[in-house]
């Protein structure tokens, strides 16, 4: 089962990283292009290029936080009904008597809310452990000296692994079946 959870997490994490980063860069490039075109397209020299780069770097973390939420919601659909190492997650109906073979986003809302809250608590736990580690073993004195969206993203990926284990064992609408 450990290999199933790891491979499931690896598939989910690679999809989450790919979708969120590509969508964030696409939207950020669109915003930067809009700003460039709305300022009557000045001739690109080193100063204009640096300004466009600064705009891109400013908007990327903001847009990435939004696309990360979208990728989290979209990514939960693809962990079900996929055979990984002889096992698969199955989504049960509300009565819990049969499985849903073709899963829509409407079927996932309750499970996603539980999974998302579980992820929030796990990310918070990892942050507390990181703060303790920071105070004990590094020269940083506070969380805001090192914390950024990139660390938050790493914490989300780390807590995603543990959330799948808890989701498979504790959620009544999700079961693990052999395939």
Q: Tens digits of per-residue pLDDT, 139-152? A: 877 667 777 878 88
What pLDDT, on a 0 to 100 scale, did the predictor assign at position 81?
74
What pLDDT, on a 0 to 100 scale, did the predictor assign at position 125?
94
Q: Which residue would you say has higher pLDDT here, 93 or 135? A: 135
Q: Which helix (H) or strand (E) holds 34?
A: helix 2-38
Contacts of 20 (CB under 8 A, 6+ apart): 64, 67, 68, 70, 71
* Structural domain boundaries, residue 46: 2-178
Question: What's the pTM?
Answer: 0.81
d(CA 109, CA 64): 22
Query: Residue 147 — φ and ψ, nearest 5°?
Result: -75, 135
Helix and strand tally (H, E) in the chain? 4, 2
User: What would the two tokens of residue 41 be?
Assistant: 């397209």
How many independent structural domains does the chain possess?
Answer: 1
**Which pLDDT tens digit goes with each residue over 77-125?**
888 878 888 888 888 877 767 777 787 878 888 888 888 899 999 999 9
């Amino acid at each position: 089962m450990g290999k199933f959870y790891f491979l499931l997490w690896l598939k989910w994490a690679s999809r989450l990283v790919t979708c969120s980063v590509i969508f964030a860069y696409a939207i950020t490039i669109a915003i930067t292009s809009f700003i460039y075109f709305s300022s009557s397209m000045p001739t690109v020299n080193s100063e204009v290029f640096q300004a466009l780069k600064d705009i891109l770097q400013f908007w990327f973390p903001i847009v990435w936080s939004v696309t990360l939420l979208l990728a989290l919601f979209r990514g939960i659909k693809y962990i079900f009904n996929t055979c990984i190492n002889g096992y698969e997650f199955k989504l049960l109906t509300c009565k819990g008597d049969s499985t849903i073979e073709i899963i829509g986003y409407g079927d996932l809302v309750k499970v996603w809310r539980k999974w998302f809250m579980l992820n929030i608590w796990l990310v918070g736990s990892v942050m507390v452990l990181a703060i303790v580690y920071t105070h004990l073993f590094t020269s940083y004195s506070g969380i805001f000296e090192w914390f950024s969206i990139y660390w938050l993203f790493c914490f989300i990926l780390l807590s995603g692994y543990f959330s799948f284990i808890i989701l498979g064992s504790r959620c009544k609408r999700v079961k693990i079946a052999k395939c």
